[in-house]
Structure 1
């Protein structure tokens, strides 16, 4: 019996090749999207689950609050972890991690190498398998270093490197570090990422660590014993901090900050959108919103494809009416007919499923690039994933075939054999499904226009300074950079192809000071030279720039931005005092610059203060390069750099490229949403084509009569198309308010954003109506051109 069902199903598919192809294509596109998103979601939820201590491992985080704001960070200081372990018996172990970069000498080549400082028990607490070396001893010696396979190959072309040495630049000299172990490359689904690990005890021996209780600049992880309740440990951590930090806090006048320490389960680190900053050994941070959006898009497209299957199957039902009538007359039960039609649905779903696997493999590299992943269909070998895909296959086949099976199996034998089956245009379910799927498609198109507009705004907005052909590089930290700064600047200024040269300290550190008799104002704080403003072409709104004509500027004067003036509430800022109590300095404002975006446009411009404090070393150079021959100018700059800074690699960046990279995520989402909109429109039009076919076939005799009575082709096409255009217009009316609300929510995350334009909705509506008209019009013209003799000869 089953064999007979499948044989009939196959014959029916072969007989209606066009409709079968449309059905299979639509379902395979929807299934492909779902497969890729299932892979993506599986990768997201699998992060860090290989860690043996995952259920006992936590990251220390702290919430800092005052009268104005409250913020949570995942950072601590060097003293926090060891003290917590000493004072709290439930803490079995602690691991501190901190990122840094060292110059490594490889033969005569200098390479900047990212290094992770970690406590000696790092490889015991975290599941990072070693190819060589013992987890408990690889970081025991302060001059030992552990490399990953990739890093070992990079420097030695082999992984058999235990006992060999690597020269790292410490201060102005190179020191040899002995390779004590080689670790496997960090898994892609691991939050912990590193290339090389040095013992944390080394930087402690160098005096590089800060043991103040109010400092926060590294990660601290705690391993609790198996019987500990982390919620009971949190109050103890806060008690220890309160008692240990009391003396330090008492020395700060008018201190008004509050601190609350907490423990974050390690399995929550990857998907924590609040603490999205990834550094100090953590990487690949994500947000659950991405999984939600991608899953929603995939389900929408699959749902649209299933709706198409329903519409096309019902549209073809009239041609199978006599078959159903004959089957019922000779004794077929409705249950058997339902099984037959569901069997046809599952056959289509199976073919689409196989095609979707091939299509998913084909587009996977592109998807990986968009999603910033390294996914592979080998994940399918996972039993849970196989079960998920099997469930997806069964769900798709049942969803697509259940309603048509019920409708077709319910035909009356008498009506079908006498050709009296009628599906009138009052098929509200079918029409409602078309409205629903087009509303989804129009919503995605509107979203695409909005995302495009916001992305163009982010990448083309005036930043308040000119980043075109603006090159930057570092002279390094410490005394060496300061000693060569003036010499390097002078040589660059005398070089052809260079229009301007400036120096600054390379940071936008946050600090605070008193204004207007005692009120504290928080702001960014950078050191600059006299040429900084003209080189970046940042205009002054009031006052003057720093100048060598005023020798007292470095110790008496500062420049602030408009945001600083606004926050301070000053109407006449020139001459106002900024009191740095912590360094016993009162400085006067000599100028106000226009606000410029020194950070991403996803961050609001904050108060900023520029200083020439001689204690604030300037180690970064800005060079305005003439556009004539940029490569030759870069080579000249590199020669000057190597002449004066021989122990550092020459690494440079152009500000316009750096700024563009800040919006790579938005750029990728623009591509994802655009692709989703195109697919949804395409698949929706397949459904509309099916409904138009159904309508034309059910009204074929009406069309014939109208033609015999003299109706023109234009009138017939209009008659057949009007109802469908109405459906599309209804879908547009539904999509507009929903899209407007969703776009508004998305734009709220951007402090600098576009205004939602009515053109997005007009363009999306015109596009939807145009595509729908072409889709329906094709079938309507085909019906209008049919010979009325053929359609009426049976009457």
Structure 2
């Protein structure tokens, strides 16, 4: 019986091979999309779950309520971890993690590299499951000069991994050995997995950092503190204990803070499981440079990707349904004969459903193979490192099984039900008709084109917005600016002077400036605390970047007080502080810059120093001669970039022979701010192309069937004088109605959805009407070409054969 079933299924698929190919192509494309989405989502969900203690491993979060503003960050100060473990029995282990985005110059012999550094407690390996290859995890971080390196770092320096006992030095100056001793490698750890929120090249003992920065404040939050709780502990109860301990210990510090600044600073704590950090559903800020956690993703992107993939699969299933329904009349007599010979409706239903299952099964195999082949391309597009092994994981098997069941039922159940429900009398003695077929078919076609038009609208808006961002004037000129990292150098002002001496008279170099970043810090003015971005610059910075002054003057060597007391501010700062006549006004920075007040000597016109997704925020410029810097920015000659870069490297190695030469272009760094948006622009574009292809395949199949079923009518019309245009209009008329309906439905929905996306940008386009008109027009054009081509083909056929076809 099963053999007979396979023969019948195989015979039918061969006879209808054109439509089988259309169905297989569409379903394969949809299945590939869903498989890639499944790989993407499972990879996102796998972040940080390799830690054996992950069910009980939490990051302490800090929420600040300050003058009505609530900010929750993933950082704490230095004192919380030790105090909480000592006073809360539920805390089994803790470790502080400071670093993350901090890179240091590390060298060994004649090799030097910029490495990602973390300062951690000696309990780090009791909390996290990073695997030690050589060395003892319990003693690896006990000594202040001991360091742990990754296998990749060991290979960089020594071309081998058995390097325990070897020496490193963290300085660009060979005469300055930190603490009077070199750094000793005490252990080698496996490279952190790509799905880890904590990434590093080298681990330092936290005690090493405390020698130069021992902070006892309960009011700060700049590093990550992770705790392992007892399995039976209630996280909410633990948080209450944390807050009680804070109130006791921070009381005096808070009183002093209120007395000094006049503002309250309410602090409360929370717990975030390690596996929630990457997707961050609580939207906790990871903006602290030192928090030890890399920037994560957003769950919404996973939802969008999965939604697009499912809609494309639905579009392919709709093709299957429409073509099977339209093609069902050819098998009506088969149904009648089988029923008259005793076959039940259930048997016939399973026959046709089984045929769909066979086609879907082979489609799934094809899609899986193509997905495997596309992984390198997909990884580059999505910024992932998914391997073929993930395709055979047990978790993905549920996705594959679900796709097979979904394809079979969604694509085959309704057509099989309609066919099996035909009566023998209806099909053997009359021409079979399926009631409601046209309404359902048109509705499904309309749904397909709604999705295709929505994706087309999204693509155009993405392109328009990204073009607007990339072409908008930033308030300065970032072109040809090379940034060289000189962190780890003691006297950066002197190093900058040496670079200027070597390069200032060279034709390949236009200008250079010493730059330092201090992040956002509070500044008091007129009893207001303004959160401002601090940057150190020299007197050449403004002219090099072509930044204009609105009022006042630039820094100058003719004013010695500029080095310690003068600042430049931007227009956003003046607006936030509500200052009139700001030149000469005094500012009070936080204690990081000492006890001196600053005097405003110049006001810069606003420029975008961060992404256009954010409004321009207050900014304060200090003079780098006093406050140093960690980068030298150089403006090079436009026509000789390669020679200029070669000159910079040669000069760098001459002045800093023990430092790693690393550079980036400022405009390329700016582009990284929109890396995620540009990635999704490509994904949406490809999805739009796939949806149009699937819609076209479906229309082609339906138009081909429509012309085949109306062959005799076409022949009669041709004999009576109908032209090619008349026949083309006849066939296209039925297909235009659902497409016009799709345009009416898709445009307002697309406008609404893209308005939500654009709301994430502080500077954005107004959605132009062309983004609504063009996708709908293209849908009509594609439909006309697809359908009319079949009508023209039918018109060109010999009328003798057409009239005798029924």
State if a TM-score over 0.5 links the two structures. yes
> Which moved further from structure 2: 299-308 or 47-56?
47-56
2:10 maps to: 10
Q: Would you say 1:212 and 2:212 are equivalent positions?
A: no
Partner of 1:221: 226
Q: Secondary structure of the residue that 1:169 maps to in structure 2?
A: coil
Could you say which residue in structure 2 is the equivalent of 1:37?
A: 37
SS of residue in 2 equivalent to 1:525: strand
* Residue 32 of structure 1, CA deviation: 1.0
- Counterpart contact for 1:96–1:220, Cα < 8 Å: yes
> Offset at 1:655?
0.6
Distance 1:37 1:618, change over 3 A: closer
In structure 1, distance between residues paired with 2:458 and 2:88? 52
Q: CA 1:444/1:702 → structure 2, altered by over 3 Å: closer, same or farther?
A: same
Which sits farther off after the overlay, 699-708 or 226-235?
699-708
Residue matched to 2:267: 259
Matched, 1:535 2:579: no
Map 1:324-335 → 2, pairs under 5 A: 324-335=335-346
Partners of 1:596 and 1:218 lie apart in 2 by 30
Tell me how far apart the structure 2 counterparts of residues 152 and 11 of structure 1 sit (CA, whole Å).
63
Tell me by how many angstroms 1:170 deviates.
8.4
Report the Cα distance in structure 2 between the residues aligned to 1:543 and 1:400, rounded to whole angstroms: 72
Contact 1:34/1:299 (<8 A) preserved: yes
Distance 1:557 1:191 in 2: 40
Q: Which residue in 2 is equivalent to 1:313?
A: 324
Deviation at 1:193, TM superposition (A): 2.4
Is 1:173 the counterpart of 2:173? The answer is no
The answer on whether the counterparts of 2:493 and 2:625 sit within 8 Å (CA) in structure 1 is no
Matched residues in 1 for 2:293 and 2:584: separation?
Answer: 45
Maintained 8 Å contact 2:63/2:269: yes
Which piece of structure 1 moves more, 380-389 or 19-28? Answer: 380-389
In structure 2, what is the Cα distance between the partners aligned to 1:576 and 1:144? 49
8 A contact 2:5–2:351 mirrored in 1: yes
Secondary structure of the residue aligned to 1:521 is strand
Query: In the alignment, is the contact (CA less than 8 A) between 1:93 and 1:222 conserved in 2?
Result: yes
Question: Which residue of 102, 107, 110 maps to 1:108?
Answer: 110
CA offset digits 1:641-684 (Å, max 9, x no partner): 33333332222221111111222111111111100111011111
Distance in 2 (alpha carbons) for counterparts of 1:14 and 1:106: 69
| d(CA) in 2 for partners of 1:400, 1:139 | 60
Q: CA deviation at 1:399?
A: 1.4
Give the C-alpha shift of residue 401 in structure 1: 0.5
Distance 1:581 1:23, change over 3 A: closer
Q: How far apart are the structure 2 equivalents of 1:686 and 1:630?
A: 49
Q: Deviations over 1:219-262 (max 9, x none)?
A: 10011122321100111111212221222222232022221111
1:110 CA drift (Å): 1.8
Q: CA deviation at 1:307?
A: 0.6
Q: Is the contact made by 1:464 and 1:595 (CA closer than 8 Å) also made in structure 2?
A: yes
* Matching of residues 330-729 of structure 1 within 5 Å: 330-418=341-429, 420-423=431-434, 427-476=438-487, 479-515=490-526, 518-580=527-589, 583-612=594-623, 615-729=626-740
Deviation at 1:45, TM superposition (A): 1.8
Query: 1: distance between equivalents of 2:590 and 2:328?
Result: 85
Note closer, same or farther for the CA distance 1:177–1:521 as it changes in structure 2 (3 Å cut).
closer
C-alpha distance 91-334 of structure 1, shift in aligned 2 (>3 A): same
- Residue 140 of structure 2 corresponds to residue 129 of structure 1: no
The alpha-carbon deviation at position 572 of structure 1 amounts to: 4.2
Paired residues for 1:141-180 under 5 Å: 141-169=143-171, 172-173=176-177, 175-180=181-186
Tell which deviates more after alignment, 694-703 or 395-404. Answer: 694-703
Alpha-carbon displacement from aligned partner over 1:95-139 (angstroms, at most 9, x marks no partner): 011124332323312222222221111112211222222322222
1:328 offset after TM fit, Å?
Answer: 2.2
Aligned residues: 792
1:197 is matched with: 203
Could you tell me which runs of 5 or more consecutive residues in structure 1 were left unpaired when the two chains were aligned: none
Aligned equivalents of 2:761 and 2:344: distance in 1? Answer: 61
Distance verdict in 2 for CA 1:241–1:142, change over 3 Å:
same
Where does residue 21 of structure 1 map in the other structure? 21
8 Å contact from structure 1 (residues 104, 113) kept in 2: yes
**Separation in structure 1 between the aligned mates of residue 566 and residue 106 of structure 2, nearest angstrom:** 40
Distance 2:687 2:501 in 1: 54
Instruction: Kindly indicate whether the alpha-carbon contact (under 8 Å) linking 1:514 and 1:581 is maintained by their aligned counterparts in 2.
Output: no
Structure 1 residues 729, 414: closer, same or farther in 2, change over 3 A?
A: same
**Deviation sequence 1:719-761 (CA, Å, 0-9, x none):** 1102212211110111111111110111111111121111111
SS across alignment from 1:629: helix
Q: Is the 8 A contact 2:105 2:170 kept in 1?
A: yes
Write the distance in 1 (CA, Å) between the matches of 2:642 and 2:399.
53
1:459–1:663 Cα contact (<8 Å) kept: no
For residue 725 of structure 2, give the secondary structure of its aligned residue in structure 1: helix
Give the C-alpha shift of residue 162 in structure 1. Answer: 2.6
SS at match of 2:556: coil
Residue 87 (structure 1) shift = 2.1
- The CA deviation at 1:633 is 2.0
The 3-state SS of whatever aligns with 2:160 is coil
Q: Is the 8 A contact 1:425 1:695 kept in 2?
A: no
2:111 and 2:658 in contact (8 A); partners too: no
Three-state SS of the structure 2 residue aligned to 1:251 is helix
Residue 57 of structure 1 corresponds to which residue in structure 2?
57
Q: List per-residue Cα deviations over 1:45-91 (Å, max 9, x = no partner).
A: 22222322112211011111222522111011211211121222221
Counterpart residue number, 1:789:
800
Alpha-carbon distance between aligned partners in 2 of 1:195 and 1:554, rounded to the nearest angstrom: 36
Distance 2:266 2:338 in 1: 80
- The two structures, once aligned, show a CA RMSD in angstroms of 2.2
Q: Which moved more, 1:572-581 or 1:55-64?
A: 572-581
Separation (CA, whole Å) in 1 of partners of 2:385 and 2:235 = 34
CA 1:262 to 1:306, structure 2 compared with 1: closer, same or farther past 3 Å?
Answer: same
Greater CA drift, 39-48 or 552-561: 552-561
Q: Residue 696 of structure 1 contacts residue 780 of structure 1 at CA under 8 Å; is this kept in 2?
A: yes
CA distance in structure 2 between the partners assigned to 1:243 and 1:479 by the alignment: 40
